[in-house]
Structure 1
Amino acid sequence: MSWLSNYLTQKYIERYSRPELQRKNRKNILRALRAYGYENDTDTTDAAEKFLFEHVIKQFDPKTMLDVGANVGTYSRKLLESFPNAKVYAFEPLGTTFATLSQLSLEYGDRFTPVNVGVGSQLGKLKLHYEENASSHASFAAEASEVPYVKNTQTDLIDVITLDSFANEKLGSETVDFIKIDTEGFEFEVLAGAQDLIARHKPVGVHMEFNWHHMFRGHSLQMLAASIPGYEVFQLVPGGLARRDPKDPLSNIFMFSNFVFLRADLISDLERKGGNPWLQL
């Protein structure tokens, strides 16, 4: 750090560490975190996802994609529309929500397969915690209800499979090219049950939501990244993707964010062929 930068930093600290300016300091921090990829609104997140699809995933012409925690099918629809040659398998455990999700079959035919089960680390049954009027908050993790805006007061016993078992029993010769996981704090268990699939199929990317829920479960981004060896971590940010070190504390902030784990060998190939114009580094 140069003397000028050090001087300006010190002056900033002296000013904004004062008790009467803590509220303003917090606002400045939150603004910076939004620019860094946290707590962004739907429009910003949608734009980043579109960038991921068009500038990265589309280069590999995916054929089979998995949407784990599909809810009413918003993300599944994005995949089906963005990748017209792909087939999507969507997993949703909540019955009422699954009925809405299944309607996508009327539009996309055999390109879309809804699967009414939960996904976890082993076969069996688990208690799903949910609120009928906020189905997107449903989770197999009871700790998710410690998040202030989550009001999962209802429960139901649900059949649970693993992605490994699904791939072995249902996919035959199909190769999984992309996985999205949004399970409200249950992502680590989904990954634990997909180790064989990831090792054999080597999907291009695994897209996951990271949020407040993971703090209550004790699951850091570093912990999630360690369960997917051979992949590099990128955060979806306004305008594109930014490479992140999962060991960096700034990559482990428990606020709403989206990360994609991309196969390291494919990233290296793209960089060797012509730089990385689709990455904001």
Structure 2
Amino acid sequence: MIDVGANSGQYARSLREGGYDGPIYSIEPLPDAFATLSESMNHDPLWSGMQAAAGSAPGRASINVSADSVCSSLLKPTASLIDAIPTAQIVKQIEVEVIRLDAVDLPKSSRIALKLDVQGFEKQALEGASALLSRIAFLEMELALEPGYEGAYTLSSALPEIEALGFEIASVGRGYSDPVTGRLIDMDVLFEHRR
């Protein structure tokens, strides 16, 4: 399991609580979140990771750090996202390392699950995983119905491109809704690689 945009490890911990006992590799760019994540990794010999953001090319970039940290993104949040989730407001910018997922030394398994929770930056993360995609059995992504970040991947823009990569929808989960209007903001989509 590759957990990209791991934040402080919430997703990986939920996998462990659900009974998954295989290897986990977490990638998270924010220093504070990565420090908390590292504490969990230190107590689990099959859980490792690195502090970085995933993108299409290696280098350095400014990340917009949100008040809640989980809405932090390499993209700028839209006014509509901040209206719906006030804690998505940017509180600072910091420079982070950006890596291609293809460059990560991963277990040589032919079936990998990849979770991307990168706040609109999924397209770029996938572009940096082109050599890895043939080994991805399952791809889980949080996809917005409307752009929550400037230039973000949305459900409608992502679907044809992800299907062209050989994946099909296996499951859809309801994501976050606007607390005032009740309007759905994003969905958790699980894709399976067609073999």
1:222, distance to aligned residue in structure 2 (A): 3.9
Match of residue 232 from structure 1: 168
Higher radius of gyration, 1 or 2: 1
Q: Which amino acid aligns with 2:37?
A: L
Match of residue 33 from structure 2: 97
Instruction: Identify if the C-alpha distance between structure 1 residues 254 and 197 changes in structure 2 by more than 3 Å, giving closer, same or farther.
Output: farther
Q: Confirm or deny: 8 A CA contact 1:141 1:185 kept in the other structure.
A: yes
- Equivalenced residues, count: 179
Q: Distance in 2 between the 1:196 and 1:223 partners?
A: 22
Match of residue 256 from structure 1: 186
1:74, distance to aligned residue in structure 2 (A): 0.7
Match of residue 54 from structure 2: 119
Q: Distance in 1 between the 2:148 and 2:128 partners?
A: 18
Offset from partner CA, 1:143-163 (integer Å, 9 cap, x none): x25322320130011110011
1:226, distance to aligned residue in structure 2 (A): 3.4
Structure 1 residue runs without a partner (length 5+): 1-64, 239-252, 266-281
1:263, distance to aligned residue in structure 2 (A): 1.7
> In the TM superposition, what are the counterparts of 1:177-216 in structure 2 within 5 Å?
177-199=112-134, 201=135, 203-211=136-144, 212-214=146-148, 216=150
SS in structure 1 opposite 2:73?
coil
Q: Distance in 1 between the 2:31 and 2:149 partners?
A: 28
Question: Which 4+ stretches in 1 moved above 6 angstroms?
Answer: none
Which residue, out of 75, 86, 94, partners 1:156?
94
SS in structure 2 opposite 1:227?
helix
Q: Distance in 2 between the 1:79 and 1:190 partners?
A: 22
> In the TM superposition, what are the counterparts of 1:1-281 in structure 2 within 5 Å?
65-82=1-18, 84-109=20-45, 111-131=46-66, 133-142=67-76, 144-146=77-79, 147-148=81-82, 149=85, 150-166=88-104, 170-171=105-106, 173-175=108-110, 177-199=112-134, 201=135, 203-211=136-144, 212-214=146-148, 216-217=150-151, 219-228=153-162, 229-237=165-173, 255-265=185-195
Structure 2 residue runs without a partner (length 5+): 175-182
Q: Which amino acid aligns with 1:138?
A: S
Instruction: Identify if the C-alpha distance between structure 1 residues 220 and 256 changes in structure 2 by more than 3 Å, giving closer, same or farther.
Output: closer
Q: Confirm or deny: 8 A CA contact 2:139 2:191 kept in the other structure.
A: yes
Q: Distance in 2 between the 1:139 and 1:78 partners?
A: 23
Q: Which amino acid aligns with 2:139?
A: V
TM-score by length of 2: 0.81
Q: Which amino acid aligns with 2:138?
A: G
Q: Which amino acid aligns with 1:89?
A: Y
Q: Which amino acid aligns with 1:259?
A: V
1:108, distance to aligned residue in structure 2 (A): 1.3
TM-score by length of 1: 0.58
Match of residue 177 from structure 2: none
Question: Percent of pairs identical after alignment?
Answer: 26
Segment of structure 1 superposing worse, 133-142 or 212-221? 212-221
